[in-house]
Structure 1
């Protein structure tokens, strides 16, 4: 049964004009990295509660949500205005099966995201599970502009902590930035440029998680299927696990 708990904003961190992190303290609740809850304003319409994945690790004292502000959205513009001390409503329990528990073992793990779809991957990388299960992890983040590349300091910390085990590739479609690739993720997969940039071949021993834009996910599934990487389901384990972000 869904319950509502109250949370209090401790920080509203603006990454860019369109993306912010809302950091909240609430009564403790259990969740698995990759799951989501619904978030809204106290006393508001229950229909205005929106699903957001947790970017913080399970057990963290501060809950982190990375959110895209949609100009004509019902909820995100209101959340974007919140200040420390303001209250929010959070649903319990956490939901979703986009977790590493649902992913079979493999040699390498590819985390392909667009926009705020990187959030659940940040939560996962905070835990021991991916580092224990996979020899190599590749994190790919597709955005329109460099300003939307979030969690840079944390990613650099992981690269220092796990040298030669974490590959990170930003993909920026509307700017030319050194070190970033400039095409959409499905095209980079199809051409092999993504594998080359991360010096990791995609094989049937790879596991791929996709999170973000539904078009990106649909196109990537097609490209990966052509490479022999099948959709992963509980009934029929495969290589590709995905979550649409709207």
Structure 2
């Protein structure tokens, strides 16, 4: 049977009526690469009920962190959203996933494009010093419907900029671009539309997306992944994987849809 750790919930924060995050203890034997996911869940009626979740913590941090949607009728999230400090969760011991640096060819700018809880793996990646050693610019784009749904990502980025040891490196290289589709905000529009028009790169004062210099990671809704896959492929980008690095990578594992 695959390794399964039992961990204790430490903190829980509800961001909106559909989003929450929580932290838990981390077994010293649990190792992962920034951007990977693992199976987590609960014991339900004597059996483990598990779903794929990306780690939001840095791979060097001593606690785990996860960012989740709330699905009222979801078999797992309907229960996870009721977690409280002291509760126990199950964490699978075999992390995996395609959103890792070695699946990409070397480049100058890394674009991480996420919608909703698709932000999660990128939170881990922007906390990893290795990311900044590989790229001149690290671009985090987070698309949501409403401004309130950006709260978790905004806090993570603010804390990184203010970090005593890490802040200067982050300030020099990290470009954060939150955008919403259903409210007035400083950035509005779907990520695909912003890329197709060149507005995203223009707002960030970067050159248009180019396969020779830019690398892209995608995580989010099925529709967003499909649209951006088509856009990148038509732009000459080739998808990478564990056996052959490419210009972009997609995470196809989802929490409850």
Please tell me the TM-score bracket, short chain as reference: over 0.9
Aligned residues: 244
Describe how 1:19-34 pairs up with structure 2 within 5 A.
19-28=19-28, 29-34=30-35
Shift of 1:44: 4.5
User: Gaps (5+ residues) in structure 2?
Assistant: 162-166
Change (3 A) 1:145 1:57: same
Change (3 A) 1:132 1:18: same
Shift of 1:227: 2.3
**1:103 is aligned to 2:104:** yes
Matched position secondary structure for 2:245: coil
| Aligned residue number for residue 203 of structure 1 | 210
* Runs of 4+ that moved beyond 4 A: 43-47
Describe how 1:139-158 pairs up with structure 2 within 5 A.
139-149=140-150, 150-158=152-160
Contact 2:7–2:90 at 8 Å: present in 1 too? yes
**1:183 is aligned to 2:189:** yes
CA distance in structure 1 between the partners assigned to 2:96 and 2:245 by the alignment: 21
Contact 1:213–1:245 at 8 Å: present in 2 too? no
Q: Out of 67-76 and 38-47, give the one that drifted further.
A: 38-47
Describe how 1:64-143 pairs up with structure 2 within 5 A.
64-143=65-144
Contact 1:210–1:241 at 8 Å: present in 2 too? yes
Change (3 A) 1:190 1:16: same
CA distance in structure 2 between the partners assigned to 1:199 and 1:233 by the alignment: 30
Structure 1 counterpart of 2:174, from 157, 161, 166 = 166
Change (3 A) 1:233 1:184: same
Contact 2:41–2:48 at 8 Å: present in 1 too? no
Between the two structures, name the one with larger relative contact order (CA 8 Å, sep ≥ 6): 2
Contact 1:7–1:26 at 8 Å: present in 2 too? yes
Structure 2 counterpart of 1:228, from 215, 228, 236 = 236
Matched position secondary structure for 2:43: coil
CA distance in structure 1 between the partners assigned to 2:44 and 2:72 by the alignment: 22
User: What is the TM-score with the length of structure 2 in the denominator?
Assistant: 0.89
Q: Out of 78-87 and 235-244, give the one that drifted further.
A: 235-244
Q: Residue by residue, what CA displacement relative to the aligned partner does 1:30-80 show, whole Å, maximum 9, x if unpaired?
A: 111111111111355656211100000113121000001112210011011
Q: Out of 100-109 and 221-230, give the one that drifted further.
A: 221-230
Q: Residue by residue, what CA displacement relative to the aligned partner does 1:74-122 show, whole Å, maximum 9, x if unpaired?
A: 0011011011101111111212232112222101000000011111111
CA distance in structure 2 between the partners assigned to 1:219 and 1:96 by the alignment: 21
User: What is the TM-score with the length of structure 1 in the denominator?
Assistant: 0.92
Matched position secondary structure for 1:49: strand
Change (3 A) 1:223 1:40: same
User: Gaps (5+ residues) in structure 1?
Assistant: none
CA distance in structure 1 between the partners assigned to 2:193 and 2:106 by the alignment: 26
